[in-house]
Amino acid sequence: MNLRVGEILKFYERQGKPAEQEEILSALREIQEVLGCIPKAVQEEASLRLGVKPSFLAAFVKKYPEFKEVSEKYEIQVCTGPSCGAGKALEILRAVEAAGKQKEREQGISVKIVKGRCTRQCGKGPNLKINGVLHHHMTPEQAAELIRLL
């Protein structure tokens, strides 16, 4: 967890007693300011620390337009053309999907994963594109690491 977010939650934490609505709003505003969003994992941690149900806290995030669950968006195209597909394209797809889900949950960064067509760079495959930028000679581990570094 982000150090600053940890400090914010510690400040608003009320040792076993549920936080007041104004305190919850203030905590969420500060977290939004630090992270640019309030990711699901942070919401879960905040609900624990503030002594309220996760659904109650999630309702706050949804109710106020100033709060967002996601701050950035990326589109990943994993080439599943004949050459890349014969390589490790499906393993890469699975690795990227898992890393993408973790990224969104923990950091509020949306990662949309799609199967891409052949980009005529077959000799450099397996290939994937991140927001239109091609990455060559991918392994599942390298692809997942790229997603983690977004």
6 binds ligand FES (CB under 6 A): no
| CB nearer ligand FES, residue 26 or residue 83 | 83
CA gap 118, 77 in Å, rounded? 10
Select 14 or 137, whichever has its Cβ closest to ligand FES.
137
**Any contact of residue 139 with ligand FES (CB under 6 A)?**
no
Tell me the C-alpha distance between 6 and 120, whole Å: 47
> CA–CA separation, 100 vs 8, rounded Å?
27
Span 76-135, contacts to ligand FES by CB under 6 A: 79, 81-84, 118-119, 121-122, 125, 127
Among all chains, which residue has been given the structure tokens 């905040």?
46
Contact of 82 with 88, CB cutoff 8 Å: no
Residue nearer to ligand FES on the CB measure, 39 or 125: 125
The residue count for binding ligand FES (CB under 6 A) is 11
Encoding tokens for residue 150?
Answer: 């977004």
- Distance of closest approach, residue 118 Cβ to ligand FES, in angstroms: 3
Three-class DSSP category at 16 = coil
| Contacts with ligand FES, residue ranges (CB under 6 A) | 79, 81-84, 118-119, 121-122, 125, 127
